[in-house]
Structure formats: structure tokens, C-alpha cells
Structure 1
Amino acid sequence: MDRLFDKVIVRPPGESYKNCVSTNPQHSTIDVKLAQKQHKEYVKVLKENGISVVELEPLETHPDSVFVQDTSVIGASSGVAVIARFGEPSRRGEEKSIEKLLLDNGVEINRIQAPGTLEGGDVLVTDQGVVFVGESQRTNKRGIEQFARYFSHVEVVRVPVTKVFHLLSAVSYLGNKTIAISPHIIDVGYFKGFKLITIPEEELYANNMLYLGNKMVLIPAGYSKTEEKLKKEGFKPITLDVSEFWKGDGGVTCLNSPFYKSL
């Protein structure tokens, strides 16, 4: 299996999710019940594709905590994890229960220290010995330098991100040295040596996609051009309605924190 992970952590949205940090004009229309239903469907897809899912309880004190990817970057082979220091101050504290879970499972913990910031949504892990980390509104240079020290066995490449919150909003790794990218958002020059699939400009949201291995790619429903493009490249897209997470500025990668096999 060519996927990057066999196990993930997820956390369903709590009632407080409607108060999450979001720039989406439809933020106020978030339907929490529908979000919870969509999250269940998401977990079902992961399990159907042979991924082991650790399901945590909702964290009502942190409305954004469904976006569990941002809390940590976990290495399955090294047994080492980096715990985020959020660039978005209102989210600080979300990472504590993840840290406890990892400690209870014997994972070695490293924390990003102030003034460094790093969020998991800026970390693009590949199986090619290289990890790309976005320098963004949420992740700074000091955070990236610390991350590179903690995962010193891989090459860490810093990528400037100015037009979206996180690198993974515009770049996804699809196994086999292949990357989906939105060139109007991220400079393709950083990804030399990789095969690039360009995602149509008007379907940027679809570039937040999750590779499940065996050519299966989970993408948000409603992006037919991206779906067709992936099919032409030999991938098998699985579409899922994630409208309520779109309203919260999140996507399909944001909803899980993987145990990366190549880290």
C-alpha cells in the first residue's frame, strides 16, 4: 500500500463548532447537526479504506478542534511527534489532549516553543525523504527551524504561503512523486522533481484533498473539473459533502491527524 499513513486521530465537531474562526461569508450558516453527520461519513470512508481511526470526544472549549490536523505532526516510524504552537492564538490549548494521547501511547513529544509557531495544515509530508512546510500567517520561520531539528532525518523545504491560511489548502501529495497544486497560489518552483497536476483556479478548495493509497483520493463534492482531471491521471476520486467544514475554512485533510509512516 502506497499511502502515507495507516492510522489517524479525528475529533467530531462539538456544539461550539459554529463559533469557529472563519473568513467564509457563510460562516454564520454553519449547521452543527449536519457537520456532525458529515464527519461520521468522513470517518466511514477512512475505515472503508482500511485506515485505523482513533476517535476523540468533542472539545467544546475549542470551537475549531474538529480540525485536529493542526495540533501535531506525528511520525509513525520514528515514534516522534511535534506538538504545534498555534499561530491563531484562540486555538492554543487544543493540542493538550492530543499530546496526552500520544504520551499515553509512548510517543516522544517535542513542542514548538515561542516565538515559533507551526500548524499541521502547513506541513506537506511525502514519502521521498522531503517535507514541505509553508511559512504562512499561522507558521513562522522559527517554528519551521524547530520542526526541522525534530525531524532531522528528512529534508525540510520552506515554502512561502501568502494567499491562503495553510500550505495544504493549495498543495496535496498523492503518492508516487505526484503533487496536486494550485499554481496561482503556490510557486511550483519549490517542487522540482515531482510530477505536478494543476488544479483549476476556480476549484481551489478541491486541492485540499486526502490521498488514501491505492489511487483513491478523497475530495470535496462539487468539483467536477478536479474530479475529471484526477480520473485522467489514473486516480479514483471519492467525493464527500463537507459543506459545513468549508464554511469553517477547513477541508478534508484538516479533519484528521495522521501517523505518517515516512516520518
Structure 2
Amino acid sequence: MPTALIRRPSSRLAEGLVTHIERTPVEVELAFAQWQQYVDTLHGAGWTTVEVPPIEECPDSVFVEDTMVVYGGLAVIARAGANERRPEAAAAEETVAAQGYEVRHIADPGTLDGGDVLKIGSTIYVGQGGRTNAAGIEQLREAFAPLGADVRAVPVRKVLHLKSAVTALPDGTVIGYEPLVDDPAAFERFRPVPEEAGAHVVLLGEDRLLMAESAPKSAKLFAELGYVPVVVDISEFEKLEGCVTCLSVRLRR
């Protein structure tokens, strides 16, 4: 059974970092309800969830994906590009280690956020230019090379993280909202989508795609391609540049 790490939002969520969009008020109570719907949707799709202990003093801590990159039986613990977020990693490391994963770390001068990492089979694309730097990418490459992974740096300048711009369909096609993708040619197969939020999908299995309610045109496109959109409302997290990918760490070996 597939497992996902999740982390309950902090009551200080509304203070989260914003970099590429204008700040708008966050309804924290609604965000808690949306987070629970996200978790319930994972459960409904046959996933088990494991909670990383919450960290109240870190407003962005609900975006647990940024704390690590998991490949095979190895979890590389990230070193956040934003200093304020570095305390989020410790409890996430303990939680993934308890799931039986070997652990390594990104070390100074490297920085890396898990949201900058897109895995497609043995190819791992890593966004460089925002929260993740060249030293962090090289350390990730060294960690995963013995496992047969091909780590490739791609530019990210228009959005917070690589997976703010692109994710991938089950067949390996990279999808993205083209105005926010720095270099579509960096990917072997690229398909544009009609909405920014349509670029973000989580593969639930059996051709099901977890995605945001705010991308109905993209959902229609995916359905026409033979996939089954599973839609959740994450409006309050989108106000903080969050999306469906960054609210969990999917553990599948």
C-alpha cells in the first residue's frame, strides 16, 4: 500500500513566505479543513498517511515535501533555501527514518528544497535558480548516482519551485503552464496545460490524478487523455504558492 508523509498546518500559516505572487489574506480555519480533505482524499485512493509532528513556529511547515527527496530506499534531507524553513527538517528526518529509509543530508554550501525535484522513472529533474543551488544539486546527484538515477539541473526563475511550474503524467509526459516554464525543451516530452494550477498533479495510481479544483480546463484535458482527475480545493494554500504536490511526501519504492 502506498504511503505519504503529511504535516498538519501551523496556526501561523497566514505568515508563510510569498515570493512570486502578491500576498492575500489566508483563512486559516478553512485551510485546516482543506488540508483534512486532502488527507481524506489520499485515504480514499488507498493511501496510508504518516504524520510528521507539527512545528508551530514554522508557518510554511505544512509544505512537507520541501524537507526531503526520496528515491529507492534513500531519503536525502533537504537544506532549505529559506533560512526560516530549516527547522522543519529535523522531525521530518526522524519520521522518514522510522519508515525504514536510509538518510543522507544536503550540507552547506548546498541548498535544496524538495519542491524543486521532479522524478520520472530514473530521471530526476532539479530546478536551479530559486531555493535550490548548484551545490545542492551536485550533492543530490552524488547521493543518488549509486542507485542509477540521472540527476539533471533545469532553470527555475519564474516560479518558487520547479514543481510550481511542471509535474508529470503517468506516461512520463511533463505538463506545465507554458508562460511559467523557463525551458520546455529541457524535458524529453512536454505538453502545455491551459491553467497554472493544471501543471500540478499527484499520481494516485490506476491513472488517477490528484489535482486542484482551480484548474477545470486542465481536468477536462486530462479526462480526454484517459486519466481520472481527483479534485480537491486547496485555495488557501495556493495563496502561499502551495499546490497538491507540496502537501505530502509520497513514499513508493
Q: Of 203, 211, 220, which aligns to 2:212?
A: 220
Stretch of structure 1 that moved more, 30-39 or 204-213 = 204-213
Are residue 43 (structure 1) and residue 39 (structure 2) matched?
yes
Is the Cα contact below 8 Å between 1:136 and 1:165 reproduced in 2? no
Partner of 1:190: 186
Matches within 5 A, 1:14-93: 14-23=10-19, 24-27=21-24, 29-75=25-71, 77=72, 79-93=73-87
Runs of 5+ consecutive residues of structure 1 not aligned to the other structure: none
Q: Of 120, 128, 148, which aligns to 1:135?
A: 128
Are residue 233 (structure 1) and residue 225 (structure 2) matched?
yes
> Which string of whole-angstrom CA distances, capped at 9 and with x for unpartnered residues, describes residues 186-216 of structure 1?
2121112x3x32112xx21231221212111
Cα distance, 1:26 vs. partner? 4.4
Q: Once the two structures are aligned, what percentage of the paired residues are identical?
A: 36
Partner of 1:156: 151
Is the Cα contact below 8 Å between 1:11 and 1:65 reproduced in 2? yes
Partner of 2:251: 259
CA RMSD across the alignment:
1.5
- How many residue pairs match? The answer is 249
* Distance (whole Å) between structure 1 residues aligned to residue 99 and residue 247 of structure 2: 21
Runs of 5+ consecutive residues of structure 2 not aligned to the other structure: none
Which structure has more RCO (C-alpha within 8 Å, separation ≥ 6)?
A: 1
Is the Cα contact below 8 Å between 2:164 and 2:241 reproduced in 1? no
* Distance (whole Å) between structure 1 residues aligned to residue 200 and residue 49 of structure 2: 20
Q: Compared with structure 1, are the counterparts of its residues 260 and 106 closer, same or farther at alpha carbon in structure 2 (3 Å cutoff)?
A: closer
1:259 is aligned with what amino acid?
L
Stretch of structure 1 that moved more, 92-101 or 175-184 = 175-184
2:174 is aligned with what amino acid?
I
* Distance (whole Å) between structure 1 residues aligned to residue 130 and residue 191 of structure 2: 25
* Distance (whole Å) between structure 2 residues aligned to residue 13 and residue 68 of structure 1: 10
Q: Compared with structure 1, are the counterparts of its residues 176 and 99 closer, same or farther at alpha carbon in structure 2 (3 Å cutoff)?
A: same
SS of aligned partner of 2:13: helix
* Distance (whole Å) between structure 2 residues aligned to residue 50 and residue 235 of structure 1: 17
Q: If the length of structure 2 is used for normalisation, what is the TM-score?
A: 0.93
